[in-house]
Amino acid sequence: MIHTVNNPVDLQYLSDVIADGADPNSTDRYGQTVLHEISRAWNVDVMRFFLDRGADVLRPDSYGVTPLHVAAALDYEEMIHFLLERKADIGAQTNMDHQTPLHYAAKNDAVGAVKVLLQYGADISARDYKRRTPLQLAANLDRSEAARTLMELGADAGVKDSDGQLCITAMIDKMTSVAHLALNQFHVTDRMTRQQFYYLHLLEPEPPCKQNPPGQGSQGILEFIVHQGKLDLIMHPVVLKLITVKWKLYGRLGAWILLLLNFLFIVSWTTVAISVSVIRTEEPYVFPEDWWRVFGVVVALGLTVVEVGREVAEMIGSSRKLRSWQSWCEHRTNDDLRCTHPMWPEEKHFLEEQIKLIHRMKGNYLQDPWNIFDWLVYILLMAVFGIHVADIFLLGGTLRDYSLRLFAVVIIFLWLRLMKHVRAFRVMGPFIVMLGKIVGDVLRFLFLYAEIFIPYACAFWIIFGGQASIPSMRTVPQLLYSLYRITLVDEYEFNAMVEVDSIMAHFLCGTFLALSSILCVNLMIALLSDTFQRVYDNALANAVMQQAAIILQVEESMPRLCRFYDDQHIHRFCAPLGELYDDDIRTDSKRHAELKTITTQIKVTGWDIHL
């Protein structure tokens, strides 16, 4: 009598049954023999018993799965040792997906099985039906421990499958820590010759062609790193070198073009806004004196058409790329679904969840808040221009006032838009990030401030509102502005309020000052200081991240720029890219120190102003 994990096995009874003619190689509806079940969790002695009585250790089921596949998937190390000693085929492949036992161990995160199989000589570079290695399969299925083990045992992270997907991109997408380890493979140093080599061509997909259209398995590592905000990976030497090469190749030129176009766009509309403010008692435009004003409007409208056209093209391109990517991912996942084994439903459930995630994916265009801000500016410009045109033909004083007010507001938003393209330059990148983070802090502060401001505004209006003796609270807008001045500890008519109601004047003013000026304002400063500190700690990483984001924008919004550079440059001249190696030089420490110093000065200045 031998005990398995859950139940005892009567070997004498089984021996009698086999002696009476039972076939130890009989199968169930899936073609699995008793060995498949034993290899799950039964005692090794049970496996030995059946093998000694003629059971075939090499016999697969209807899907090509052998007992060794099962033991590898369930991380049953003792059983794997025994099966391999009994001549089990370590390279056996399943029927549909052509996966070896090592593939099964990798995709089920069976770390122990991976080590045992490799110890017995399993092919670490074996390919399945999509030419995926065990490492790439583990990366695709988010099996980080198995992927890490394979990496430590020599698996190559620079491979790609038959669809063109890079192994490293799957790692970056799903397992950051393992991806950092994998990126080390693409940077090789030779201390004796003082040379270092960057294998950048393995990080970029082949340029699109007829056989491999864009958007079909052709995403590089920068897209995953930027869109997921992986600051730890952006500072890896290999990624930094890739960004540097792309920046010099076309990123810098594209960034300057975008910056100059945006600057001309801003200056033209600023000129129009200032010219509109010219007061005339007669016609709004008098010719030929005002030819320059009309010319400025034409230039501004022309640049607006160019900017809007580029935004629309970028938005359509992003949407088209997303649909193509979703279709490609869903097709790949459905291929894997057709290969799933009915005895392993958890793999099917995982793949079905992946399809749901694919359908919930959003385009890169809408994930960038600056693009939303762009459309806000365009809408405001069209609105103010429409009001201005109506003012010209209707000659109404009210319309003129509205157009001037709106122009004054639009100009502020227009100049803020310049930061979108300035962020490409590493000196300014971190500060643009700071301003973006501050927006969230301000919104949280405004919610708390509104919780205090609204009830106090009602209380002040009940006691002091609408009285001629207090001019600053005669109307609701005046009262609201007066409360805002109290928050800033500015001048307000306290003596007049005391004459109306001394008790409530002291109570309302004292408590409102304590809550709004002392509590809320200091809380706001604390939030801003925390934001500065977080960005300050990653100043260089944030700067590089912004530069990488602009490189991706140039790639998507300026496809014609490829005519001015060799789109095969990385695959021709960076395979590998050799440079002088000095282990004392890691990063630009001087620039990093400058960024930290500037940020610290801003923090100190902010505290000094408050105090």
With a cut of 50, say whether residue 211 has pLDDT above it: no
Please report, for residues 94, 320, 325, the alpha-carbon distance to residue 173 in angstroms, rounded to integers and kept in the order given: 28, 21, 14
Reported as a pLDDT band with limits 50, 70 and 90, residue 576 is confident
Cβ neighbours around 557 below 10 Å, total: 18
Under the banding of pLDDT at 50, 70 and 90, the label for residue 313 is confident
Are residue 596 and residue 498 in the same domain, yes or no?
yes
Residues 440 and 395 in one domain: no
Taking the C-alpha atoms of residue 227 and residue 260, their distance in angstroms, rounded to an integer, is 26
Which structure tokens are listed for 239?
């990624």
**Token pair in block for residue 168:** 């490293």
* Mean per-residue pLDDT, 156-177: 89
Closest CA to 310 of 362, 265, 253, 268: 265
Predicted confidence band of residue 437 (pLDDT cuts 50, 70, 90): confident
Q: Final residue of a domain: which of 89, 124, 159?
A: 124
The H or E element containing residue 414 is: helix 397-416
Check residue 70 and give its pLDDT: 93
Whether residue 456 sits in one domain with residue 393: no
Q: Which residues contact 180 (CB under 8 A, 6 or more apart)?
A: 232, 233, 236
Assigned token pair, 79: 């059983």
- Which pLDDT band holds residue 274 (cuts at 50, 70, 90)? confident
**CA distances (Å), 128 to each of 117, 337, 445, 596, 602, in order?**
17, 14, 55, 49, 56
CATH number where 103 lies: 1.25.40.20
Quickly state the pLDDT bin for 214 (edges 50, 70, 90).
very low
Answer positive or negative: Cα dihedral of 201, 202, 204, 210.
positive
Q: What is the pLDDT of residue 13?
A: 64
Least confident of 81-90, 92-101, 202-211, 367-376: 202-211
pLDDT, residue 280, reads: 59
Q: Do both 464 and 333 map to the same domain?
A: no
User: Is 409 inside a domain boundary?
Assistant: yes
Of 153, 92, 81, the residue nearest 126 (C-alpha):
92
Contacting residues for 216 by C-beta, under 8 A, at least 6 apart: 163, 164, 324, 325, 328
Query: Which residue did the predictor score with more confidence, 168 or 536?
Result: 168
Query: Are 372 and 508 members of one domain?
Result: no
User: What would the mean pLDDT of 528-546 be, rounded to a whole number?
Assistant: 79
- CATH number, domain at 434? 1.10.287
| Domain assignment of residue 145, yes or no | no
Residue 185 placed within a domain: no
Shared-domain flag, residues 389 and 302? yes
Residues 401 and 475 in one domain: no
Residues 476, 477, 483: CA angle, nearest 5 degrees: 90
Query: What is the domain range of residue 279?
Result: 241-419
Whether 589 shows a pLDDT value over 50: the answer reads no
Given this model, what pLDDT does residue 243 score? 93
**Residue 202, amino acid:** L
How far apart CA 573 and CA 591 sit, in angstroms, is: 28
Paired tokens of 31: 């073609």
In the predicted structure, residue 3 carries a pLDDT above the cut 60: no
Distance of CA 65 to the CA centre of its chain: 38
Residues 412 and 438 in one domain: no
Pairing of strands 577-580, 2-3: unpaired
- Cis bond leading into 559, ω under 30°? no
Question: How many percent of the chain have pLDDT more than 90?
Answer: 28
Q: What is the pLDDT of residue 542?
A: 81
* Residue 211, CA atoms < 13 Å, CB-side half-sphere: 5
- Domain end among 356, 391, 419: 419
- Average pLDDT on 130-142 reads 92
Q: Is residue 319 part of a domain?
A: yes
Neighbours of 572 (CB within 10 A): 10
* Single-letter residue type at 438: I
Q: Could you tell me if residue 135 is inside a domain?
A: no
Question: Does residue 380 form part of some domain?
Answer: yes
- Our count of domains for the chain comes to 3
Does 448 share its domain with 376? no
Residues 438 and 380 in one domain: no
3-state helix, strand, coil in the chain (%, to 5): 65, 5, 30
Strand order in the sheet with 187-190: 187-190, 195-198, 577-580
- Chain centroid to Cα 177, Å, comes to 16
Domain end: 94, 124, 154, which one? 124
Q: Under a CB-based contact definition with an 8 Å cutoff, are residues 549 and 226 in contact? A: yes
What is the pLDDT at residue 1?
A: 46
Q: In this structure, are 410 and 506 located in the same domain? A: no
**What integer pLDDT is reported at residue 328 of this predicted model?**
86
* Top-confidence residue, 295 or 212: 295
pLDDT at 287 over 50: yes
Q: pTM (2 decimals)?
A: 0.77
Determine which of 135-139, 249-253, 585-589 has the lowest per-residue pLDDT on average.
585-589
User: Is 476 within the bounds of a domain?
Assistant: yes
Q: Residues 384-417: pLDDT tens digits?
A: 888 888 877 775 567 777 888 888 899 999 999 8
List, in order, residues 6 or more apart from 395 with CB less than 8 Å away: 284
Q: What is the mean pLDDT of residues 513-521?
A: 88
Task: Give a yes or no: residue 523 inside a domain.
Answer: yes
Verify that 501 and 401 share a domain, yes or no.
Answer: no
Q: Which of 365, 244, 166 is nearest to 234 (CA)?
A: 244
d(CA 485, CA 502): 20
Question: pLDDT value at position 610?
Answer: 47
User: Mean pLDDT, the chain, as a whole number?
Assistant: 83
Upper half-sphere CA count for residue 534 (Cβ side, 13 Å): 14
